[in-house]
Amino acid sequence: MSDESNEWEEPDREEFSHDPLGHTHVWEEMTVGDLVEGYGEAGIGAADVHEAADIYTEMLADDDCTVFMSLAGAMVPTGMRRVVADLIRDGHVDALVTTGANLTHDAIEAVGGKHHHGRAEHDERTEREHDETLRDEEVDRVYNVYLPQEHFSLFEAHLREEVFPPLEAEGTVGIERFTRELGKANAAVNEREDIAEGPGVAAAAYESDVPIYCPAVADSVLGLQAWMYSQTSDFSLDALSDMTALTDLAYDADRAGCLLVGGGVPKNFTLQTMLVTPNAYDLAVQITTDPSSTGGLSGATLDEARSWGKLEKGARNATVVGDATVFLPLLVAAARERLAE
């Protein structure tokens, strides 16, 4: 006979619920959407990507949701330029917050420059020797991407001939006004010179009437050139004037969502916008490689942002830890596929 006293009894379980893991299935001719959907059967990072795709799709599908996008890091020079420009042109971005570096590299390609495949290290040289050689050859390196320095000369001439003169007549302008004129000039030169590469992010924003905010513009070649031009003209930038329009956009949003690509100033600038409104983000997705344990902003969790009132208590949010050059196109492709269904 069995001893009933030894029979197992299920304990009271507040956290656990019956939800067995499946196994991601991969097959020939599967789509990106199929893959991301399959990630929902798995755990760890795959589950995070699946949740992020769900939230991002909800964000884009809701016509009443105002979508803010932040873009930090070397996203344009490493090949993400068209992904972002297409999102803007297709109406999936209501405001873009980015770096002066991304706008610099965007304009370089718009007017005829090009980034090139390179390498982060050399088989026969130390990293320092490798970069010293590149310095002698007048080539700048962004990890495994090369940019010949003559393209910066092309960019600087573009600013002085096409961008700064119309703004000089206005005197002191906001940074968003500056980025709008940059987009206008990029589009015009790209078409006039029949540049093979597309006009890019700033041009798409200008043509789609989407504002670009660049709060740390001085930390870039774009900002450096603006400062140099201001030394001999009436042109200058007002860093505070943009705050009103951006805050109004957040204040008037029925629902708000944010896609945070990387960290730094663009991430915080996007999140802090909600602090002076009665609202907070309802939907949020971030892609980051930074850990939260250092206390730095770039790795700060979205749950931490909730404590500040930047996210609603009941907001849906997800964080994907990894390289944004891998995960941004993945999330965008999955969301686009779902929206087309």
Active-site residues: which are they? 310
Let me know: does 297 contact 272? Beta carbons within 8 Å: no
Question: Residue 246 carries which DSSP code?
Answer: H
Nearest to 50 by CA among 15, 21, 84: 21
C-alpha dihedral, 153 to 143 to 211 to 320, nearest 10°: 180
Cβ-based neighbours of 15, under 8 Å, separated by 6 or more: none
CA 280 to chain centre: 20
Half-sphere CA count of 185, side-chain side, radius 13 A: 25
Residue type for position 238 = D
DSSP sequence for 217-228: TTSSHHHHHHHH
Tokens 């945070």 — which residue? 260
CB neighbour burial string for 175-193, b if at least 16 within 10 angstroms, e if fewer:
bbbbbbbbbbbbbbbbeee
- What pairs with residue 71 in β-bridges? 98, 261
150-158 and 221-230 helices cross at what angle (nearest 10)? 50
Structure tokens at 224: 């450096």
Let me know: does 39 contact 46? Beta carbons within 8 Å: yes
